[in-house]
Amino acid sequence: MATDAGPVLDIVRLRRSCASCGLQQLCLPAAIAGDDLRRLDDIVQSKRPIDRAQTLFLPGTPFHALYVVRSGSFKTFVTNEQGETQILGFHLPGEILGLDAISAERHQCTAEALERATVCEVPFSRLSHIAQQVPDLQRQLLRVISREVMRDHEHLVMMGRRHAQERLAIFLKSLSERYGRIKRDPALLTLPMSRYELANYLGLVVETVSRLFTRFQQMGVLEVRRKNVRILDFAKLEALCAEQHEGSGAVAREA
């Protein structure tokens, strides 16, 4: 279980050792080992639990560290002048926050805990210092950012789909896959975000999302009880990801 987060006691236990962390393969230490791993380990600090609705960083905050989700979950979002927000992502254990801050050396978005969560803090200057001496870490760092780009591209593809139904289906499918990766039952989703947040992420309104959940339930694809969603029929879900459409999809030129 990734969401162990007991009382304050285990801060000490949380700290120490990427080596023993279940998320290792997904995280920066992947592909490095032994002595190098210890050096990375040394700079990683773990912070005390972040409560629901608390933020890890805000736009404009000077960038000095990357954060890896250890337990719990986060959302990242930007807010414009009119106070409208766009949620950029939901982040599960093993995922890295703050990558978009490297360029400007300031955070570009807000990261907020959706539930009580813990993170590892990786001071960036020290990280890149070590990366310079450990080529594997260097490559892994680039890989991790590149993966972030891939993630955003998937989000983009989803937003491009004009039918709400497909968007939600794609989201659920992809969330299920992510659950699999962190060794949780891919059929049993516990959505850490509110319907509002989910709707915003998908570029829809709450009511639409709500109606879709009921519809999916009626179709026998899901069993929904508030935040608890069980996927009953993966094949149907898969099918829902790619219904109807030809509108803006196929670009005219190529037949």
Partner DNA sequence: CGATGGTTTGACATCGGTCAACGCAGGTGG
Partner DNA sequence: CCACCTGCGTTGACCGATGTCAAACCATCG
- What is the spatial distance between Cα 59 and Cα 214, in angstroms, rounded to a whole number? 36
User: DSSP strand E in the chain: where?
Assistant: 45-46, 55-57, 65-71, 74-79, 85-91, 96-97, 110-113, 118-123, 188-190, 222-225, 228-231
Tell me how far, at minimum, the Cβ of 25 lies from DNA, in Å. 32
- What is the spatial distance between Cα 30 and Cα 33, in angstroms, rounded to a whole number? 8
Residue 169 contacts which entry, DNA, its own copies, none (Cβ below 5-8 A, type-dependent): none
Q: Which residues contact 237 (CB under 8 A, 6 or more apart)?
A: 169, 172, 173, 221, 222, 231
Question: Please, which residue, 48 or 162, has the CB nearer to DNA?
Answer: 162
Handedness of CA 228, 25, 56, 15 (dihedral sign): positive
Which stretch in 6-14, 58-66, 175-183, 209-217 sits in contact with DNA by CB under 7 A?
Answer: 209-217
Q: How far is CA 228 from the centre of its chain?
A: 18
| Residue 54 is a binding residue for its own copies (CB under 8 A) | no
CA distances from 192 to 3, 72, 113, 182 (A): 12, 8, 10, 15
Could you tell me the two tokens for 73? 């979950």
Tell me how far, at minimum, the Cβ of 76 lies from DNA, in Å. 18
Question: Please, which residue, 139 or 227, has the CB nearer to DNA?
Answer: 227
How close are the terminal C-alpha atoms of the chain, in Å? 49
Question: Per this entry, what is the length of the chain?
Answer: 255
What SS3 class is residue 250? coil
Q: Find the binding residues for its own copies in span 162-221 (CB under 8 A).
A: 162, 194, 196-197, 199-200, 203-206
Question: Please, which residue, 27 or 204, has the CB nearer to DNA?
Answer: 204
Binding track, positions 146-175, relative to DNA; x by CB under 7 A: ----------------xxxx----------
Tell me how far, at minimum, the Cβ of 206 lies from DNA, in Å. 5
| Residue 207 is a binding residue for DNA (CB under 7 A) | yes
Which stretch in 42-50, 105-113, 146-154, 241-249 sits in contact with DNA by CB under 7 A?
Answer: 241-249
Tell me how far, at minimum, the Cβ of 215 lies from DNA, in Å. 8
Question: Please, which residue, 78 or 206, has the CB nearer to DNA?
Answer: 206
| Residue 235 is a binding residue for its own copies (CB under 8 A) | no
| Residue 145 is a binding residue for its own copies (CB under 8 A) | yes
Tell me how far, at minimum, the Cβ of 252 lies from its own copies, in Å. 5
| Member of 61, 86, 210, 217 binding its own copies (CB under 8 A) | 86
Contact 132, 138 (CB under 8 A): yes
Q: Catalog residues that contact DNA under the rule CB under 7 A.
A: 162-165, 194-196, 203-211, 213-214, 224, 226-227, 245-248, 252-253
